[in-house]
Structure 1
């Protein structure tokens, strides 16, 4: 049986994937900590943003859902290290790319939130 924390992280990841697929910054703000560190670790495309810059990017892009893109995502690993921190490894395919995410989690008064999003992507073949 899953613990309350595991169920909360599962719901967090559902909102994460939904928010990205629909480019919904309101939903994503329920996922991310206000001090989010967003780090693109893709070869040749390193970039660093805070939550406001990232939410502006989300608001300014056409949602994959609106383009009718197929949706593919998975949570490969969840490791809750303590009642206060954890790690999620996840994958998502959208916008012609395959993304691999490492998300560090912190437990706050608002519940579990993503504090850092470090990811890389590769262009999807075919």
Structure 2
């Protein structure tokens, strides 16, 4: 296997773990400080910097603390060159089911997310 895939799988794993535990230290390591976070699932553009996004994560109860089972999946990983890649992933937090397009750049020997563009749907209530 191309070693870049293993590096990307590890980076995405850190992303999933950071979200699962609301671990902003881990997320700050996988996100580039200048990364953007963007979504239009609710009809308007939500665009946040890491200075805005990470404090939001820090105050929310983690999925792990609420006993939510992990629903993490790597759908695909694509490389645009030796230092640029995109991972399409799926995960869940509460009732929200996310599809994330994570664009990575490799700087100083490690892959970091430079852009997270995502969509979410709400899980259907069970009877």
Deviates more, 1:71-80 or 1:37-46: 37-46
Aligned partner of 1:49 in structure 2 is 48
The reply to whether residue 4 of structure 1 matches residue 8 of structure 2 is no
Aligned partner of 2:78 in structure 1 is 79
| Equivalent position SS for 1:67 | coil
Q: TM-score, normalised by structure 1?
A: 0.94
RMSD: 1.1
| 8 A contact 1:74–1:92 mirrored in 2 | yes
Aligned partner of 2:15 in structure 1 is 16
* Structure 1 residue runs of 4 or more that deviate by more than 4 Å after TM superposition: none
Aligned partner of 1:35 in structure 2 is 34
Deviation at 1:41, TM superposition (A): 2.4
Aligned partner of 1:98 in structure 2 is 97
1:56-93 CA-to-partner distances (Å, cap 9, x unmatched) read 00101010100101110101010011111011111002
Q: TM-score, normalised by structure 2?
A: 0.94
The reply to whether residue 25 of structure 1 matches residue 28 of structure 2 is no
Unpaired runs of 5+ residues, structure 1, are: none
Residues paired across the two proteins, number: 125
